[in-house]
């Protein structure tokens, strides 16, 4: 029987993992708290741990996991900047992830955010419920004919670009790796980042968080953008400098911003803080702007994506138990 400690879990995590497991020889130990160097001792007796985006698997944490007998760390997400891979390798801890659970989920959420922001749907919904049927302040624009800039053309970025072409928008893409066959088939142009920032009416971010993308939208980037630009971020929070974003919003340079991720979301997103005081001043400021729409990292949150996350994670856990190879493309070390 393979014992697995699962951290930072919600009821839906438990449901989908138990369903994916079926009759497999896995015993779950679900924790609602996060994995940290302090809580790592709770993995004692487990051969594997399963972690999420806000768990912190630094060297100290990994040393404790290795000491208590853990052999595998499986991330139920695509990002892995919260784990020290070098330390994991030195400690003979294998690490896997779920690289592409449902690109369609995030891509569709991106378009949903764009439409809700542009057509003021969230404001209209609240107004009508208060019996205010005025259209004042609800003017949007046609996406058709606009120029949309996609920063990062991985699986999600390509899907967003394809959907926007369906709106008959002109699409520009910035990515260090160019897939010209794909771009030509949809009438999409690769351009330098500065060109994209200058020409786009809509900018959508789909990049991983690496050194090159940290705060890639800063004061200098915002200064290059068209007045009234709409920005959508469903990738990683730290690719936008929040202080610079607030400055650009206050100057009315930006027409609207939709965020599904936030620079300092840890400890806020995925939690119910409705009866507390929000201590994050920058997030509090963002929430005061009428042209800012924020969702709490729910882009991935579909039935299909949760099924895929659980299925891939369980498959790699079973591989550990059976001493068979992990799934191709999921191995980080």
Which active-site residues does the annotation give? 236, 265, 297
**CA distances for 307 relative to 18, 20, 234, 271, 310, angstroms:** 11, 7, 20, 22, 5
Token pair 């302040």 is at which residue? 137
**CA distances (Å), origin 38, targets 9, 30, 63, 81, 100:** 17, 17, 11, 19, 30
Residue 53 contacts residue 83 (beta carbons within 8 Å): no
How far apart (Å, rounded) are the C-alpha atoms in residues 161 and 156? 9
- Return the DSSP state at 40: G
Helix, strand, or coil here: 28?
strand
The residue among 275, 320, 329 whose CA lies nearest residue 92 is 320
Contacts made by residues 78-82, CB under 8 angstroms, sequence distance 24+: 79/53, 79/208, 79/209, 79/236, 80/332, 81/209, 81/210, 82/51, 82/53, 82/54, 82/55, 82/56, 82/57
Q: Distance from first CA to last CA of the chain, Å, rounded?
A: 25
The C-alpha torsion from 109 through 114 and 117 to 118, rounded to 10°, is -150
Give yes or no for a contact between 263 and 240, defined as CB atoms under 8 angstroms apart: yes
Rounded to whole angstroms, the Cα distance separating 310 from 308 reads 5
Q: Where are the alpha helices (DSSP H) in 58-211?
A: 59-67, 85-90, 103-118, 121-129, 155-166, 180-186, 193-199
């Amino acid at each position: 029987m393979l014992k697995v400690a699962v951290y930072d879990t919600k009821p839906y995590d438990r449901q989908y993992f138990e369903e994916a497991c079926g009759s497999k020889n896995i015993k779950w130990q679900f924790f609602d708290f996060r994995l940290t160097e302090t809580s790592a001792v709770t993995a004692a007796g487990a051969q594997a741990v399963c972690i999420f985006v806000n768990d912190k698997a630094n060297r100290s944490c990994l040393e404790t996991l290795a000491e208590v007998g853990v052999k595998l760390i499986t991330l139920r997400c695509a990002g892995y900047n919260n784990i020290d891979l070098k330390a994991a390798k030195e400690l003979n801890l294998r690490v896997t992830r779920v690289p592409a659970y449902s690109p369609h989920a995030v891509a569709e959420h991106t378009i949903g955010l764009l439409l809700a922001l542009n057509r003021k749907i969230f404001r209209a919904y609240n107004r009508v419920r208060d019996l205010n049927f005025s259209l004042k302040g609800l003017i949007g624009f046609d996406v058709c004919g606009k120029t949309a800039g996609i920063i990062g053309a991985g699986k999600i970025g390509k899907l967003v670009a394809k959907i926007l072409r369906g709106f008959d928008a002109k699409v520009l893409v910035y990515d260090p790796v160019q897939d010209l066959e794909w771009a030509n088939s949809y009438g999409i142009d690769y351009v330098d980042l500065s060109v994209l920032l200058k020409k786009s009416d809509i900018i959508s971010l789909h990049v991983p968080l690496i050194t090159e993308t940290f705060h890639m939208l800063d004061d200098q980037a915002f200064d290059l953008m068209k007045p009234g630009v709409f920005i959508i971020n469903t990738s990683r929070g730290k690719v936008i400098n929040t202080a610079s974003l607030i400055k650009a919003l206050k100057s009315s340079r930006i027409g609207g911003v939709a965020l599904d991720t936030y620079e300092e979301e840890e400890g806020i997103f995925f939690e119910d803080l409705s009866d507390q005081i929000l201590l994050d001043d920058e997030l509090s400021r963002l929430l005061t702007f009428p042209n800012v729409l924020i969702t709490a990292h729910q882009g991935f949150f579909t039935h299909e994506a949760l099924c895929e996350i659980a299925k891939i994670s369980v498959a790699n856990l079973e591989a550990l138990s059976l001493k068979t190879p992990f799934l191709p493309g999921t191995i980080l070390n």
